């Protein structure tokens, strides 16, 4: 297998102890070329594949690809991209970030991921969510007014199919199933499935009710404010008689050799992405002081390997996490910068986080 040149540039030689899954994810943001022009969506997809291959080589545990149907993101079919990555990787787990179940068919979602699981020799997983963008609803003929009901019903059907037994099921949005077995099955065990949660107590309790791991999307503010959600989830699991299940966090970040370099590289592209989305949601424009505050104490993991490692270790300790995922892509930030960030994250940040956690500290001064 051809190895990326960055693999040796950032090697540390440390042995890391497996304590937590440390992954990355991307929405396949449309990036800019060195001359400032934008890459095509097709090139953006090819770049994501290369980023997934590098992630495997530098020791990252999980690579996630989000589903979007907008011109600023290149990936609308994560499973297809992940299958391409699976054919060129050996160990990294591969999944969505997230799959918008509300506007999809639960049976087809299961089939696509069980197929990915076969291609990757058991490395597939899916994160199911309602999606923070709504373009898929009119695109696939669903009423946005049924946002909540669609997700609840489709999650119920997916949970039934995931058990890999003949399914008899009836709902409001599709014809009933009568003793139907869905193919192909997952080869070994059940498809690893998470519920993506944006921060509503109802979503937290629902994840516990279905006995599925919870992935918290923390994209603003102090991560410690999500402690009540982690506690609520564990309490709901206990009341339902379920065993303790993993909790993960997805947050944005960027790694460079120094704190100043990382912030300077990320600031402009992050601001443009945030303001573009914010304009659709009536958010005020982002100021540099807000960006720096998020990098200092919030949910933006940007800085040198040491800084990012300390901040991740602190969040892991605070929330009792089993996985941390860094969204390493941010607007038009070039592919080359993303590759450098991934290499530093895998070869420098991950070993330091594990060292900090094994030493018993929270990583923060």
Does residue 364 belong to any structural domain of this protein?
no
Does residue 363 belong to any structural domain of this protein?
no
The answer, yes or no, to whether residue 257 has pLDDT greater than 90, is yes
Does residue 262 belong to any structural domain of this protein?
yes
Q: What band does 363 get if pLDDT is binned at 50, 70 and 90?
A: low
Mean pLDDT taken over the chain = 92
Percentage of the chain exceeding pLDDT 70: 93
What pLDDT is attached to residue 107? Answer: 98
Does residue 324 belong to any structural domain of this protein?
yes
Domain count within the chain: 1
Does residue 1 belong to any structural domain of this protein?
no
Does residue 292 belong to any structural domain of this protein?
yes
Supply the range of the domain harboring residue 332.
6-11+20-358
Contact 173, 141 (CB under 8 A): no
Q: What band does 8 get if pLDDT is binned at 50, 70 and 90?
A: very low
Q: What band does 188 get if pLDDT is binned at 50, 70 and 90?
A: very high
Taking the whole predicted model, whether its pTM rises above 0.85 is answered as: yes
What pLDDT is attached to residue 359? Answer: 87
d(CA 124, CA 191) in angstroms, rounded, equals 7
**Among 115-119, 121-125, 196-200, where is mean pLDDT lowest?**
196-200
326 vs 132 pLDDT, higher one: 326
d(CA 104, CA 61) in angstroms, rounded, equals 27
Q: What band does 38 get if pLDDT is binned at 50, 70 and 90?
A: very high
The answer, yes or no, to whether residue 131 has pLDDT greater than 80, is no
What pLDDT is attached to residue 364? Answer: 58
The answer, yes or no, to whether residue 133 has pLDDT greater than 90, is no
pLDDT tens, position by position, 286-318: 999 999 999 999 999 999 999 999 999 999 999
| Cβ count within 10 A of residue 270 | 23
Does residue 39 belong to any structural domain of this protein?
yes
**Averaged pLDDT, 257-283:** 95
Cβ within 8 Å of residue 161, ≥6 positions away? 106, 107, 110, 167, 182
The tokens 């720096």 sit on which residue? 292
The enclosing domain of 333 has a CATH number of 3.20.20.30
Q: What is the largest CA-CA distance in the chain?
A: 60
Does residue 336 belong to any structural domain of this protein?
yes
The number of helices, as runs of H, and strands, as runs of E, in the chain is: 13, 12
Q: Per DSSP, what are the bridge partners of residue 157?
A: none
């Amino acid at each position: 297998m051809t190895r990326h040149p960055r693999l040796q540039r950032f090697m540390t030689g440390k042995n890391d102890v497996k304590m937590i899954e440390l992954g990355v994810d991307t929405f396949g943001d449309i990036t800019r070329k060195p001359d400032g022009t934008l890459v095509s969506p097709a090139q953006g997809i090819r770049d994501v594949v290369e980023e997934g291959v590098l992630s495997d080589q530098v020791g990252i545990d999980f690579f996630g690809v989000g589903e979007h149907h907008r011109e600023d993101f290149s990936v609308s079919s994560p499973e297809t991209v992940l299958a391409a990555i699976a054919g060129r990787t050996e160990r990294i787990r591969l999944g969505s970030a997230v799959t918008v179940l509300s506007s999809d068919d639960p049976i087809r979602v299961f089939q696509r991921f069980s197929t990915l699981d076969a291609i990757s020799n058991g490395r597939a997983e899916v994160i199911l969510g309602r999606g923070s963008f709504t373009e898929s609803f009119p695109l696939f003929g669903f009423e946005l007014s049924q946002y909540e009901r669609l997700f609840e019903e489709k999650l119920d059907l997916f949970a039934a199919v995931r058990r890999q037994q003949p399914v008899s099921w009836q709902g409001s949005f599709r014809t009933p199933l009568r003793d139907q077995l869905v193919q192909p099955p997952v080869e070994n065990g059940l498809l690893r499935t998470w519920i993506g949660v944006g921060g509503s107590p109802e979503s937290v309790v629902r994840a516990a009710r279905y006995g599925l791991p919870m992935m918290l999307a923390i994209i603003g503010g102090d991560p410690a404010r999500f402690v009540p959600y982690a506690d609520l989830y564990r309490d709901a699991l206990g009341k339902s008689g379920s065993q303790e299940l993993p909790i993960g966090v997805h947050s944005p970040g960027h790694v460079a050799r120094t704190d100043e370099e990382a912030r300077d590289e990320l600031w402009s592209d992050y601001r443009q992405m945030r303001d573009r989305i914010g304009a659709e949601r009536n958010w005020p424009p982002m100021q540099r002081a807000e960006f720096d505050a998020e990098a200092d104490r919030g949910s933006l993991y940007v800085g040198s390997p040491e800084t990012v490692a300390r901040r991740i270790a602190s969040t892991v300790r605070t929330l009792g996490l089993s996985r941390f995922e860094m969204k390493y892509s941010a607007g038009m930030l070039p592919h080359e910068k993303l590759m450098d960030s991934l290499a530093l994250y895998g070869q420098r940040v991950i070993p330091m986080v594990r060292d900090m956690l094994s030493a018993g500290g929270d990583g923060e001064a």
